[in-house]
Structure 1
Amino acid sequence: MMKPSALKKGDIVGVVSPASPPKEQQLKKGIAYLESLGLQVQVGKSVYEKNGYLAGTDEQRAGDINAFFATPNVKGIICACGGYGTARMADLLDYELIKDNPKIFWGYSDITFLHTAISQKTGLITFHGPMLSSDIGKDDVKEQTKQSFQQLFTPQPTYYTDQITSLQIIEQGEVSGQLIGGNLTLLASSLGTEFEVDTKGKILFIEDIEEEPYSIDRMMTQLKLAGKFEDAAGIMLCDFHKCEPLKKENSLSLEEALLQPLKGLKKPIMKGFLIGHCSPQIAVPVGAYATMSTYERMVELEAGVKVD
């Protein structure tokens, strides 16, 4: 895996909307936060475009990402928000360009499809973390969420321990491997495509939002039947925000929907991580080498950036 260079004060970062259009006022607050870190901000051409539920056409959204990867003085690319649309333009990204110009790429939710695609095609470590409009620009954003950006400036390991949240052990064990994953819906939608998530020997983390247990069950079963849980070295069950039954009178619980497809796996599984659509939210480097130990109730992640 390739590590992007760490940010320094004065560096330029680009802001993109690869999926849905952001809330303008919240995005401006998010940009102001980046500026408070000493960064200069350039906004992509299509960020404020509106094409139904998309921030412009597929070509426009992909064009912004390609343009920032091609611009030498842009050192990082931060997503404004998620929503829907990244899978539509994943085949329009220039992966050779990205591989030849590695730099920070940051976002989550629908951005999971791009994390997976970039990882598969280039080997670049990317970052699953809070976004400018949907997280940082909110009035009630937690300081711990903001602090996630500090890992972009200083290469140091990230430790997720039982002291951050109470972690529940599902299956005991200790393993090491690359961290891969993100939003369950997007991981499931990658199956059968050229960007299909590869979990072999890796630690898989999953999260989601506003999906009822039957929908979680369907996608977990899909990953199970595709061999993704069997291939994985370990599994981290993260935040599943508002994923309780709402419409169905008779329903499995969220926990049943998550755990039944994992039954019988003899590998470490823990749940309870504040990664995903939650507040506060802990950012993690996707593709970085990780060690997961249920005995120590901890996941250790190597630094996702390097110093030139």
Structure 2
Amino acid sequence: MESPDRIEMDRILTPPPLRPGEKIRFVSPASLPDRDLVLRQAEILRGWGLDVDFGEHAFCKHDYLAGTDEERLTDFNAALCDPEVRAIFTTRGGKGSYRIADRLDFDAVRRDPKFLIGFSDITILHLSLWKHCRQVGVHGALFVGDGEQEVSLETSDSLRRLLMTSEDIIIRSRPEEPTWALTTEGTVAGRLIGGNLDMVATAAGWALPDFHGAILLLEAVNMYRGQVDRQLTMLRKAGHLNGLAGVAVGQFTRFEFDRRFSVIDILREHLDMLGVPVLGGLPLRHGRSPLNVPIGATAVLDAQAGTLTVRRGNA
């Protein structure tokens, strides 16, 4: 007979879709946000019929962070504990979420799961919530992509559909994305886990969940090639990538792709050693018109078709 603890850890927490009139809250667990940009995002959400409020310290400043660790953690845990708050939007990534990722109110999450929406530095919060609670989150935001002045309709529509319906989410690979060249062959299914490479590496040894049977999502922005190489080397040699079902590669943004030995070559070297299907070119995260995707949900990666499909009915 399975132990109660084992049964509890196997239970997947999938927050229900948002309904008009429900409250969502912006909090700042990482870097200081752009107030005007956040207020514009809030207006988009109000246009969807949602009630929007803000954590007490959402616009505080403590050097490069949005308030002290205690202020940022207090706001985050208050949102987790408030039964009226049905989703938590992070104002931005940047730096600092890793300082509080092990101190979230995991008991509150288990009692009342609600979507966490964020990416980049927020990846480590998603990883910690999956490791401790098996909660499905949202890798995404109402993000203004590279070269864009406002949130694209493609970006906002994908987030609204994800949060306010139970439809399957289909992300199609874009040949114009440099990581499209990494695509191999094969079709696999597994939990989609991961996000920002820097945060996946930062979580190793303390906030990183087991990746066996998972599809690993990777994206990155504004890193040196050597950083990517070091992080993937550590993750692979430490055994953190053992047992992966596949790899979904998103946008690697602000890299020099025309170099003789580019970040694409580095990624290919490491991913080839894993011996699993790889789908690149996915419009997930710091590039133009990025889409939004559930993290922790069951996905099907089809390299030949160029699609990553997240099954909402069997999250």
TM over 0.5: yes
State the shift of 1:293 in Å: 1.4
CA distance in 2, matches of 1:175, 1:202: 9
The one of 136, 151, 159 equivalent to 1:149 is: 159
Residue 5 (structure 1) aligns with: 16
Q: Does 1:73 align with 2:84?
A: yes
CA distance in 1, matches of 2:138, 2:313: 8
State the shift of 1:72 in Å: 0.9
The one of 157, 173, 183 equivalent to 1:170 is: 183
State the shift of 1:168 in Å: 4.2
The one of 285, 289, 307 equivalent to 2:298 is: 289
Residue 206 (structure 1) aligns with: 218
Q: Does 1:35 align with 2:46?
A: yes
CA distance in 2, matches of 1:28, 1:110: 21
Q: Are the equivalent residues in 2 in contact too, given 1:4–1:304 (CA < 8 A)?
A: no
Q: Are the equivalent residues in 2 in contact too, given 1:213–1:251 (CA < 8 A)?
A: no
- Normalised to the residue count of structure 2, the TM-score between the two structures is 0.89
CA distance in 2, matches of 1:304, 1:274: 23
Residue 260 (structure 1) aligns with: 269
Residue 140 (structure 1) aligns with: 150
Higher mean displacement: 236-245 or 176-185? 236-245
State the shift of 1:106 in Å: 0.4
Q: Are the equivalent residues in 2 in contact too, given 1:160–1:298 (CA < 8 A)?
A: yes
Residue 272 (structure 1) aligns with: 281
Helix, strand or coil: the match of 2:113? coil
**AA aligned opposite 1:179:** L
CA distance in 1, matches of 2:305, 2:205: 36
CA distance in 2, matches of 1:251, 1:53: 35
Higher mean displacement: 111-120 or 155-164? 155-164
Kindly tell me: are residues 240 and 303 of structure 1, through their superposed partners in 2, closer, same or farther at Cα, counting changes over 3 Å? same
Q: Are the equivalent residues in 1 in contact too, given 2:173–2:283 (CA < 8 A)?
A: no
List runs of 5+ in structure 1 lacking aligned partners.
none
Q: Are the equivalent residues in 1 in contact too, given 2:246–2:277 (CA < 8 A)?
A: yes
Q: Does 1:62 align with 2:73?
A: yes
Helix, strand or coil: the match of 2:289? coil
**Superposition misfits of 4+ residues, deviation over 6 angstroms:** 163-166
CA distance in 2, matches of 1:164, 1:31: 32
List runs of 5+ in structure 2 lacking aligned partners.
1-11
Residue 5 (structure 2) aligns with: none
CA distance in 2, matches of 1:257, 1:73: 46
- Normalised to the residue count of structure 1, the TM-score between the two structures is 0.91
Q: Are the equivalent residues in 2 in contact too, given 1:207–1:237 (CA < 8 A)?
A: yes
Per-residue CA deviation, residues 39-88 of structure 1 (Å, 9 max, x unaligned), is: 11110011110001111111111111111111111111111101100010
Residue 114 (structure 1) aligns with: 125
Query: RMSD of the alignment, in Å?
Result: 2.2
Structure 2 matches for 1:67-106, cutoff 5 A?
Answer: 67-106=78-117
Per-residue CA deviation, residues 279-305 of structure 1 (Å, 9 max, x unaligned), is: 201111000001111232221102289
Per-residue CA deviation, residues 1-25 of structure 1 (Å, 9 max, x unaligned), is: 1110111111110101110111111
CA distance in 1, matches of 2:255, 2:75: 33
Residue 4 (structure 2) aligns with: none
State the shift of 1:272 in Å: 0.7
CA distance in 2, matches of 1:55, 1:162: 35
CA distance in 1, matches of 2:97, 2:279: 29
CA distance in 1, matches of 2:31, 2:54: 15
CA distance in 1, matches of 2:295, 2:214: 11
Q: Are the equivalent residues in 1 in contact too, given 2:182–2:268 (CA < 8 A)?
A: no
State the shift of 1:101 in Å: 1.1
Helix, strand or coil: the match of 1:263? helix
Helix, strand or coil: the match of 2:26? strand
CA distance in 2, matches of 1:111, 1:8: 24
**AA aligned opposite 2:190:** G
Higher mean displacement: 200-209 or 217-226? 217-226
